[in-house]
């Protein structure tokens, strides 16, 4: 019997089998994938552009052949001739499924645009950026004093600002003389002075007094999301923030999948490098337009990222990071020209600084969190958790700081979840389940009302309720546990066992129905047993990583917990504790640091001394490698229970009562006791 081709959509992770010849747009609509189209599939609007991926995708269990989609047709050729399609793009309404295929839906083809959950956190930063503006009066050319205009500029900077020794590239020298004369030898220069003692470099020059500002980008390059903050280098103000999905998701949702793609597909690392560089360059142009500035005014960029993203950004094959001893090509900070990274939208002489990595799987993003939160200056023992596809964890006080990473996977960000989606309007972001009636009430992104409030459905609008994002699924699992619909082991009960018709059969397991929009053509949003398992695996990895650091310090408790990243800003401490994601502490000792990695990037962008400081601090942090620690598996297994198998979580139990239910009863579905039948 011939099996229909498998179609996997990224970044949503939704998949299904379709008959040969099914248009990609049809497959997307049947799976509820967020793919736009307004022309009825006639190839006119171009809203349904997609990018097929080719090669071996071990994460999805498919190998995509070159003929996975139908051949380029006349409609696509006509559209490409008239308006142009980016290389590798197809029209979803025209391309037909012929074999197994992985298809990426780029941001511009998605109806519901992403909400940037990594917004810039308010922070007072002492301004001393590496790049500053200097107004100088340069001596006019004199035939009796035979020096060049650049040398006279250097003398002016020395005389008026005490700056000794400058350099400039050929592109700057070629515009120097016209600008000097247009400004009547009064000019403003943007001068980049690195922290390593090198000669200052002239990045830009303007005639007269330049008053249009000077800008830098702080970029948090995550596995799933790329967040950028456009920052005024004079005032430190964040003038615009924007984010996009990392296009590398189509090569693999987690880091090891991307390393595997590079290993199995010759040139795969170069594909991923090109994809992420193009995305960052496009993002830079978009954020400049949003702020109403010329992109040429962006003269500096600071990057923070995990080690795999670090290597792929730099064009380094990450293969060594996929196997012990997880060796980095380089762990030190890097200073280079933006053009070396194909960032052509910025000023042509823009500079890039990349924070140092701590170790093989603890990257520059963790260093940025350390710069922002300063655990090494803490009087009490602080656990700082930056949750993403790969969690970065710091534990420390004034005596010592430890760090590790833990492979949580993308479930916390809505991926690999049956009704999951990225954070976009229409996504359920918060939920409460009544412990008596078992009925849910929820809130979606883009609407301030809860679903049981008058006017909610009018306000949600035509787009309706589309899915559930990371914060929503985390709260949903915790609420199911609090409502007695989920037992300690993570099993969902049946309708008979729980007394609610919202528990619906799904194969040999059950699912909880949050919302049924099928009557209006919308989705049925459920939490399935598979979703619970995905969250259990993610939270167990996170908790186990934290416990390893605590073991290294010889402690069973920490004094406080800081939640960083998009997760930290949008999840209640209570739900995190009910899940057992973090060690037990008093609830008022759990705080949010917002996007700490992004804040660390902004600090390094705005203060050159901070770069020296984080390079020093990174050298003093002790790295714990979770992959080779024997106790990691032990902690992981114990943490599979909700909240935990052996830790009693006394602080949590002071404020909530966790129902004593058990659904693994050998088939009778009873809620009491939860005894297993003895095998005979």
Residues 261-272 pLDDT 10s: 999 899 999 999
- The full DSSP string for 248-312 is GGGG-SSHHHHHHHHHHSTTHHHHHHHHHHHHHHHHHHHHHHHHT--GGGEEEEEEEE-HHHHHH
> What is the 3 state secondary structure string of 42-77?
CCCCCCCEEEEECEEECCCCEEECCCCECCCCHHHH
Residues 621 and 675 placed together within one structural domain of the fold: yes
How sure is the predictor about 109, in pLDDT bands with cuts at 50, 70 and 90?
Answer: confident
Statement to judge: residues 385 and 520 lie in one domain = yes
The answer to the question of residue 426 being in a domain is no
CATH code (residue 198): 3.10.20.880
Which CATH number characterizes residue 346's domain?
3.30.420.480
**What is the reported pTM?**
0.81
Amino acid 421: pLDDT: 79
Count Cα atoms within 13 angstroms, Cβ side, for 165. Answer: 6
476 within domain boundaries: no
Q: Which domain holds residue 655?
A: 374-421+488-680
159 pLDDT tier (thresholds 50, 70, 90): very high
- 237 and 270 housed in the same domain: yes
Residues 487/509, Cβ–Cβ less than 8 Å: no
The pLDDT mean for the chain works out to 88
One domain for residues 388 and 263: no
Query: Do 324 and 407 fall within a single domain?
Result: no
Please determine, for residue 420, whether its predicted confidence score (pLDDT) is greater than 90: no
Q: Quick one: which of 231, 309, 321, 239 has its CA closest to 277?
A: 309
Asked if the structure places residue 125 within a domain, the reply is: no
Same domain? 287 vs 330: yes
pLDDT of residue 41: 72
Looking at 169, 186, 207, the residue that finishes a domain is: 207
pLDDT at 345: 95
Percent of the chain with pLDDT over 90: 63
d(CA 242, CA 555): 40
pLDDT band at 205 (very low <50, low <70, confident <90, very high): very high
Query: Residue 2 has what pLDDT?
Result: 65
* Together in a domain, 195 and 334: no
pLDDT band at 512 (very low <50, low <70, confident <90, very high): very high
**Number of other residues whose CB lies within 10 A of the CB of residue 44:** 15
465, part of any domain: no
Average pLDDT over every residue of 402-422: 80
Asked whether residue 361 falls in the same domain as residue 382, the answer is no
pLDDT in tens, 598-629: 999 999 999 999 999 999 999 999 998 887 78
Res. 99: pLDDT tops 70 = yes
Residue 672 has pLDDT above 50, yes or no: no
Whole-Å CA distances, 493 to 254, 499, 531, 644, 674: 31, 9, 14, 19, 11
Residue 578 has a pLDDT of 96
Task: Provide the pLDDT for residue 592.
Answer: 87
Same domain, 388 and 315: no
Does the residue 446 lie in any domain?
Answer: no
Residue 123 has pLDDT above 70, yes or no: no
- Clarify whether residues 395 and 524 are in a common domain: yes
**Which of 145, 176, 207 delimits the end of a domain?**
207
pLDDT at 422: 73
Does residue 565 lie within any of the structural domains? yes
Q: Please tell me the total count of domains within the chain.
A: 4
Above 80 in pLDDT, residue 115? no
Q: Grade residue 208 by pLDDT with cuts at 50, 70 and 90.
A: very high
Last residue of one domain, picked from the residues 44, 79, 109: 109
Burial class (CB in 10 A: 0-12, 13-18, 19+), 533: middle
Q: What are phi and psi of 573, to 5 degrees?
A: -60, -35
Which of the two residues, 666 and 460, has the higher pLDDT score? 460
Residue 433 lies inside a defined structural domain of this protein: no
Same domain for 312 and 249:
yes
Name the token pair of 406.
Answer: 């833990």
Same domain, 417 and 529: yes
Pairing assessment for the beta strands 49-53 and 166-167 based on DSSP bridges: unpaired
Tens digits of residue pLDDT in 51-69:
999 998 877 788 999 999 9
d(CA 173, CA 181): 14
Residue 79 or 364, more confident: 364
Please report the pLDDT score of residue 366 as a whole number: 92
Q: Is residue 431 part of a domain?
A: no
- Domain containing residue 47: CATH number: 3.10.20.30
């Amino acid at each position: 019997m011939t099996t229909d081709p498998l179609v996997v959509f990224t970044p949503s992770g939704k998949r299904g089998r379709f008959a040969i010849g099914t248009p990609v747009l049809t497959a997307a609509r049947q799976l509820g994938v967020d793919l736009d189209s307004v022309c009825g599939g006639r190839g006119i609007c171009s809203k349904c552009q997609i990018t097929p991926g080719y090669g071996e995708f071990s994460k999805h269990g498919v190998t995509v052949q070159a003929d996975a989609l139908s051949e380029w047709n006349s409609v696509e050729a006509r559209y490409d001739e008239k308006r142009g399609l980016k290389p590798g793009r197809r029209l979803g309404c025209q391309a037909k499924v012929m074999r197994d295929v992985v298809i990426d839906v780029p941001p511009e083809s998605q109806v519901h645009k992403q909400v940037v959950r990594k917004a810039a956190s308010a922070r007072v930063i002492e301004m001393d950026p590496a790049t500053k503006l200097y107004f100088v009066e340069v001596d006019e050319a004199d035939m009796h004093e035979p020096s060049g205009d650049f040398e006279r500029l250097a003398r002016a900077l020395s005389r008026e600002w005490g700056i000794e020794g400058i350099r400039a590239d050929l592109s700057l020298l070629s515009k120097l003389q016209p600008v000097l004369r247009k400004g009547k030898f009064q000019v403003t220069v943007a001068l980049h002075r690195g922290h390593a003692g090198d000669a200052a470099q002239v990045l830009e020059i303007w005639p007269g007094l330049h008053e249009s500002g000077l800008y830098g980008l702080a970029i948090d390059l995550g596995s799933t999301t790329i967040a950028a903050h456009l920052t005024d280098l004079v005032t430190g103000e964040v003038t615009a923030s924007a984010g996009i999905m990392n296009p590398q998701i189509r090569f693999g949702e987690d880091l090891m999948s991307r390393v595997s793609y590079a290993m199995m597909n010759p040139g795969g690392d170069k594909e991923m490098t090109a994809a992420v560089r193009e995305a960052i360059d496009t993002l830079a142009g978009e954020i400049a337009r949003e702020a109403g500035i010329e992109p040429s005014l962006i003269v500096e960029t600071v990057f923070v990222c995990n080690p795999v993203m670090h290597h792929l950004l730099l064009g380094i094959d990450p293969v060594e990071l996929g196997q012990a001893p997880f060796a980095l090509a380089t762990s030190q900070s890097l200073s280079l020209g933006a053009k070396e990274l194909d960032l052509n939208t910025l000023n042509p002489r823009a500079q890039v600084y990349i924070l140092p990595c701590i170790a093989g799987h603890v990257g520059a993003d963790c260093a940025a969190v350390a710069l922002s939160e300063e655990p090494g200056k803490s009087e009490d023992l602080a656990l700082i958790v930056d949750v993403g596809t790969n969690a970065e964890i710091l534990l420390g006080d004034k005596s010592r700081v430890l760090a590790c990473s833990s492979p949580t996977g993308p479930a916390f960000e809505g991926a690999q979840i049956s009704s999951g989606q990225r954070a976009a309007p229409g996504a359920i972001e918060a939920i409460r389940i009544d412990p008596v009636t078992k009925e849910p009430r929820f809130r979606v992104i883009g609407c301030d009302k809860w679903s049981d409030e008058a006017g909610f459905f009018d306000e949600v609008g035509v787009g309706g309720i589309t899915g559930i994002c990371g914060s929503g699924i985390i709260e949903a699992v915790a609420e199911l546990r609090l409502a007695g619909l989920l037992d300690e082991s993570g099993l969902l009960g049946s309708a008979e066992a729980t007394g609610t018709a919202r528990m619906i059969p799904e194969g040999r397991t059950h699912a909880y129905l949050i919302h049924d929009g099928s009557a209006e053509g919308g989705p049925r949003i459920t939490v399935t047993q598979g979703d619970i398992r995905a969250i259990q695996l993610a939270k167990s990895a996170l908790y186990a990583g934290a416990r390893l650091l605590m073991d290294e310090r010889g402690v069973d408790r920490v004094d406080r917990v800081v939640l960083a990243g998009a997760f930290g800003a949008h999840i209640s401490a209570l739900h995190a504790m009910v899940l057992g994601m973090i060690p037990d502490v008093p609830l008022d000792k759990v705080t949010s640091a917002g996007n700490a990695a992004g804040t660390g990037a902004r600090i390094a962008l705005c203060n050159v001394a901070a770069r020296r400081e984080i390079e020093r601090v990174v050298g003093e942090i002790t790295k714990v490698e979770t992959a080779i620690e024997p106790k990691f598996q032990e902690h992981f297994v114990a943490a599979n229970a909700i909240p935990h198998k052996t830790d009693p979580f006394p602080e949590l139990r002071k404020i909530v009562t966790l129902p004593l239910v058990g659904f693994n009863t050998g088939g009778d579905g009873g809620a009491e006791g939860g005894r297993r039948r003895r095998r005979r």
